[in-house]
Structure formats: structure tokens, C-alpha cells
Amino acid sequence: MLSIKNLHASIEGKEILRGLSLEIGPGEVHAIMGPNGSGKSTLASVLAGREDYEVTDGTITLSKEGEAPIDLLSLAPEERSREGLFLAFQYPVEIPGVSNLNFLKAALAEQRKHRGLDPLTAREFLNLVNEKSRLVELDGQLANRAVNEGFSGGEKKRNEIFQMAMLEPRLAILDETDSGLDIDALRIVASGVNALRSKDRSFVVITHYQRLLEYIVPDFVHVLYKGRIVKSGGRELALELEAKGYDWIREENQPASV
């Protein structure tokens, strides 16, 4: 599904990702953990095509069975989105005066156009909104308000998952979707995500805490440290990190010991 090889990326001349490689198969859920500043959000931004970041080396390939693989780096952000890449932002932005529903309607129409489909009728669209907003227990009121404007932190994160449910991506990247959520909101968000798991939809779940992974059980756990994946394992790696913290990772990766 997604193949990242030897990815190097920098911002303002500062190298943040330093040879990151990762293989994600269809339907898999990969958790990416790591201390603050290790480059997790940078990875998400580079995948989504944010232009502030300069990719200096490496490749990212998106593939789907029966289709020619796509060089993700050659695509503009909106094209990546239309190819099925979705990013749930760590800090979703507010767009005053733009109704959440109009925004989604326009986005969905673009996604469908790319797949050769007509836009949904108003009725079909509203039915879809009803169905998907229930997934994350999003109040109908929120759907009608301006995009994220005046939403609480938890509401913003639920809105991200709602949008994901509406756009049905094949690769979803969740950047610290759990941060700032209380336990109830966390459960709601996680059950929304779980409902969307399927054999041809993959997830990259970026998180600082293993708590989220009790609800969204990953197939693989990776530790990102100083711009590289330094350790990979199964679910038990998250528990180990929780118990031992990140210090042992730091020690293992001292420049002297490399």
C-alpha cells in the first residue's frame, strides 16, 4: 500500500527526517511513537505534501492491487488527497464563515470527480452525513457550524474523524488524535476509527501515549527517534515504552554506540 524508502526531509535547512523507511500493507494499522520533536508530525506533513518541507532524498510509493504504483512525491497535496490519503491534523484549523457541511460537500465532490463519479445529490449527501456523524457521536449542530470555529479540542478531533469517515480514504494518518481528549472522547474517537478499519484501508496512528493503542489495537508499533525508525515490533513494544519511557531508546541511540 505505502512504501517509504530512505526518506530525508528538512525544513528551513534543518534536516528532520534522516533516512526513514517504512512498509505498510493493505488493511494494516501501524502505530508510530516517539518523544516530542522526533519528527512524527514532520512525517505526516511530508506524506500529505506540505510545501514548507523539502524532501532531499528517498522515495514514497503508493500502490493498490491491480493498479500501477504512484510516486507520491510527484503529486500536489490535493492530488494525494484524491488518491485516498487523509491526514487527521494534530491541530485542525478554523475556517471562519465556511460551513462544515459546504466544505465537506465541495471536498467530496472533488474526490468523486477524480474517481469519475457525479457529485451526490443533496439528499444522498445528507444521508451520508447523518450516518457518518453518528459514528463519532458528532452533534448535528457541529456539522452545521463553520469549520472547527469555536469547537472544543475534543470536538475538533471528532470532526477530523467525521471528515475521514465521509471521504473514505485508503490511507489515513492520525496525528496525535488522542492528545487533549478525555477518556470518553477517546473511546468515541477510537470506536469511530475501528468502525472504519477494513482490509483495504490502512492507518498510521501517531501517538505519544500507549493509552490510545488499548482502544485502537495496532498490528505494528514503530519508534521514531531523531528522524529515523529505530525500533519496530508488535503491540508489546508500546507496553514496553509505557513501562520504561524513552530513555533506553535514547541510550541505545547515542552517537557513540552507533
Partner 1 sequence: MAFDKNNILEEVTGKEYAFGFTTPIDTDKAPPGLNEDIIRLISAKKEEPAWLLEWRLEALRIWQNMQAPAWAHLQYREPDFQAISYYAAPKQKPALNSLDELDPELRRTMDKLGISLDEQKRLHGRAVDFVMDSVSVATSFKAKLAELGIIFCSMSEAIREHPALVRKYLGTVVPRTDNFYAALNSAVFTDGSFCYIPKGVKCPMELSTYFRINAGGTGQFERTLVVADEGSYVSYLEGCTAPQRDENQLHAAVVELVALDEAEIKYSTVQNWYPGDKDGKGGVFNFVTKRGLCAGYKSKISWTQVETGSAITWKYPSCILKGDYSTGEFYSVAVTNHMQQADTGTKMIHLGKHTTSTIISKGISSGRSQNSYRGLVQINRNAAHARNFSQCDSLLMTDRCGAHTFPYIEVKNTTSKVEHEATTSKIGEDQIFYCLQRGLDEEQAISLIVNGYAKEVLNKLPMEFAVEAQKLLAISLEGSVG
| Residue ranges that bind partner 1, judged by CB under 8 A | 48-52, 76-78, 81-82, 86-87, 89, 92-93, 95-98, 102-104, 106-108, 110-111, 114, 146-147, 163, 167
- Closest distance to ligand ADP from the beta carbon of 72 (Å): 18
With CB under 6 A as the rule, give the number of residues binding ligand ADP. 12
Which of partner 1, Mg ion, ligand ADP, none binds 14 (CB below 5-8 Å, type-dependent)?
ligand ADP
Task: Compute the distance between CA of residue 41 and CA of residue 46 in angstroms, rounded to an integer.
Answer: 9
Considering only 36, 141, 254, 257, the residue that binds ligand ADP (CB under 6 A) is 36
Considering only 38, 41, 81, 163, the residue that binds Mg ion (CB under 5 A) is 41
Burial class (CB in 10 A: 0-12, 13-18, 19+), 71: exposed
On whether the CB atoms of residues 100 and 145 are closer than 8 A, the answer is: yes
Torsion region of 53: left, alpha or beta (phi above 0 gives left; psi -120 to 50 gives alpha): beta
Contact between 177 and ligand ADP per CB under 6 A: no
Q: Which helix (H) or strand (E) holds 214?
A: helix 211-215
Contact between 11 and ligand ADP per CB under 6 A: yes
Considering only 29, 30, 42, 231, the residue that binds ligand ADP (CB under 6 A) is 42
> Which phi and psi (to 5°) does residue 80 adopt?
-60, -40
Residues 6+ apart with CB under 8 A from 12: none
Contact between 38 and ligand ADP per CB under 6 A: yes
- Closest distance to partner 1 from the beta carbon of 133 (Å): 16
Q: How far is CA 14 from CA 41, 144, 217, 229, 257, in A?
A: 15, 41, 34, 18, 24
Closest residue by Cα to residue 211 from 173, 182, 247, 249: 182
- Closest distance to partner 1 from the beta carbon of 146 (Å): 7
Alpha-carbon Rg for the chain, nearest whole angstrom, is 18
Closest residue by Cα to residue 132 from 161, 89, 171: 161
Of the two residues 138 and 173, which places its CB atom closer to ligand ADP in the complex? 173
Contact between 210 and ligand ADP per CB under 6 A: no
Query: Could you tell me the three cell numbers for 84?
Result: 485516498
Contact stretch for ligand ADP (CB under 6 A) within 11-19, 60-68, 127-135, 151-159: 11-19
Contact between 22 and ligand ADP per CB under 6 A: no
- Closest distance to ligand ADP from the beta carbon of 38 (Å): 4
Contact stretch for ligand ADP (CB under 6 A) within 39-47, 91-99, 138-146, 228-236: 39-47
Footprint on this chain of ligand ADP (rule: CB under 6 A): 11-12, 14, 16, 34, 36-42
Footprint on this chain of Mg ion (rule: CB under 5 A): 40-41
